[in-house]
Amino acid sequence: MSTADSIPASTVPARGASSVRIKLSRDDYALRTGLVVVISLLAILVVLPLYSLLSKSLEDMDGNFVGLQNFQEYFQTPALLTSITNSLSVAFFSAIIVLVLAFIYAYALTRTKMPFRLFFRGVALIPILAPSLLAAISLIYWFGTQGVLKSWLFGASIYGPIGVIMASCFWVFPHALMILITALSTADARLYEAAEALRTPKWRIFWTVTLPGAKYGILSTGFIVFTLVITDFGVPKVIGGNFNVLATDVYKQVVGQQNFEMGAVVSLVLLLPAVAAFIADRWVQSKQVALLSARAVPFQPKSEPLRDWLLFGFCATIAFIFLAMLGMAAYASFVTFWPYNLTLSLNNYDFDLMDGGGWEAYFNSIRMAIYCAVFGSGLIFFGSYLVEKARGVSWLRTILHLIAMMPLAIPGLVLGIAYIFFFNHPDNPLGFLYGTMGILVISTIVHFYTVSHLTSLTALKQLDPEFETVSLSLKTPVWRTFGKVTLPVCLPALLDVASYLFLNAMTTVAAVVFLYSPETMLASIAVLNMDDAGDIAPAAAMALMIVYTSAIFRLLHALLTRYLKRRTQVWRTR
């Protein structure tokens, strides 16, 4: 459109001839102020901490600038270098395994008439309700030295890459599944009809239509699983044994040895693959948009007994494994003293007698999750509203959108460390936040900002852009339209965001593990610490408390959404 050859040269006015300046209305001032405020806020909470991290990596213990010396030291430490290969290989294998399993599972859910699809879908989402540590703990009960099925490993130890990959596959499965379901649901039935009309064999249809159609979803899933696994540290911490990975190195350097400079270096090394995967994923997503823009006829699966029952067997196996993972942890949490006293009791739930912060940690978690849901969804929705609806100043909106995209590329551990450096700096006026609930809430909201931002942006984009124009012509202030139209119409999306933040706040470990204080101990960290102290059964018990709470919350969310849809969104029904 802006290529010069589209217009006769003579008519091109001097470039940069500015538009007539329109006086700003009160609304414009309000929205622009909002933009500046939110941008500053995010700059303080995202950009500045990263800068602190970067500068810390170039300093020595006493804060003198030493250039790349820390990096040099890092790359001369063989033990640390091994972690890079360990991390990459574990993430790579997990990504491949999950991709294959989740693809078949998603295919069965979306493209067949297999029975119990809804049930299978529900079961596969269970891991989302639990911290990643739960999988590792459960695996220890299944395959550890005292594991029920230890013999199945033929003498191999679960403590190490095997355990890490197995546990990782479990907890990232639903994340992969959701993307793949979306990718496979957007099929164009006409392509299949055309292929069938040409008497194409089934397997060829699969290779030539199904797979290419889901190509971008598959790539995207690969990148996301890779990032999730490489940046997770709960799993390798619990079941890694002597198998060191980047994420545990960061933790070891910072928490174990209080060597913050080296921690900064390792976390920057960890940032690299995460950023690379992020960029690759963005690129893939931009391709995908073009693919979907043509309106397609939705695909209606037909029943095909043999295939459906084969896939049923597959899904049942996976679902059984998932239930077994959860069930074992639940069972073990009631066992008085594994493996010598199998009588059931509630002893392991007596958290107050153990390392890890006790029941208070559990209630702190709920409190934090509620704050995240309330403040987080408010802030994020407001931010995405500004990105979508502020008039003019497109450069400000672009800046806000770009900053909002950044957290997706920043692993939680890296964010957590960056926050230590930033907020614990003696000169930072925000230092009072350090060690409070506030910093936990802030770091969690920031950590999960991007996905929430994109969710509410999508909801806002579905509104007719002319709503605001009409309101202007009717001389209605922008806040009134926001309150009377935008917000009510987007309420379901807003609830989704709140629920997403709540669940993640309940289960997250990564960023907050560096930021909690004794008063703000969280349940997920208690799981980690109890495991660390050798109290694995109570750790399982606490992890299950998180699962129960998340499940109840999910249920409440579903009910509330339904109620709202009935009560206030009558207009949706025709």
Q: Which is nearer to another protein, 109 or 366 (CB)?
A: 366
Within 51-80, which residues bind another protein (CB under 8 A)?
Answer: 79
420-449 residues near another protein, rule: CB under 8 A: 424, 426, 435, 437-438
Q: Confirm or reject binding of residue 562 to another protein (CB under 8 A).
A: no
Euclidean distance between the first and final Cα of the chain, in Å? 40
Residues 374-393 that bind another protein (CB under 8 A): 374-375
The residues in 481-500 that bind another protein, with binding defined as CB under 8 A, are: 483-485, 487-489
Interacting residue with another protein among 89, 146, 317, 394 (CB under 8 A): 146
Instruction: For tokens 């936990």, name the residue.
Output: 440
10 binds another protein (CB under 8 A): no
CA distance 159 to 242: 8
SS3 432: helix
CB of 186 to another protein, least distance (A): 24
Alpha-carbon distance values, 420 to 430, 473, 514 (Å): 12, 49, 7
Minimum Å gap between C-beta 103 and another protein is: 32
- Toward another protein, which CB reaches closer, 59 or 535? 535
Single out the residue of 232, 240, 237, 332 nearest to residue 539, CA to CA. 332
For another protein, give the closer residue by CB, 195 or 366: 366
Q: Is 65 helix (H, G, I), strand (E, B) or coil?
A: strand
Q: Which is nearer to another protein, 370 or 399 (CB)?
A: 370
Contact status: 40 vs another protein (CB under 8 A): no
Comparison of 34 and 438: residue with beta carbon closer to another protein: 438
Nearest residue to 139 (alpha-carbon basis) of 165, 157, 126, 158: 158
Q: Which residue has the tokens 């349940």?
A: 523
Tokens 């409070």, residue located: 436
Q: How far is the CB of 401 from another protein (least distance, A)?
A: 20
Residue 483 C-beta: closest distance to another protein, Å? 6
CB 172 within 8 A of CB 94: yes
Q: Phi and psi at residue 378, in whole multiples of 5°?
A: -60, -55
Please report, for residues 173, 511, 526, the alpha-carbon distance to residue 502 in angstroms, rounded to integers and kept in the order given. 20, 15, 18
Question: How many of the other CB atoms lie within 10 Å of CB of 313?
Answer: 11
Of residues 356 through 375, those in contact with another protein by CB under 8 A are 356, 358, 367, 370-371, 374-375
Integer Cα distance of 401 and 388 in angstroms: 9
Contact flag: residue 340 with another protein (CB under 8 A)? yes
The beta-strand segments (E) located in 193-334 are none
CB of 180 to another protein, least distance (A): 31
236 binds another protein (CB under 8 A): yes
56, 252, 397, 453: which one binds another protein (CB under 8 A) = 252
**Between residues 211 and 344, which has the closer beta carbon with respect to another protein?**
344
Residues 199-218 that bind another protein (CB under 8 A): none
Tokens 């029941």, located at residue: 359
Site map (CB under 8 A) of another protein, residues 149-188, x = contact: ----------x-----------------------------
The answer to whether 301 and 233 are in contact (CB under 8 A) is no
Q: How many other C-beta atoms can be found within 10 angstroms of the C-beta atom of residue 62?
A: 6
- Which of 337, 432, 548, 563 binds another protein (CB under 8 A)? It is 337
Minimum CB–partner distance for residue 357 and another protein (Å): 8
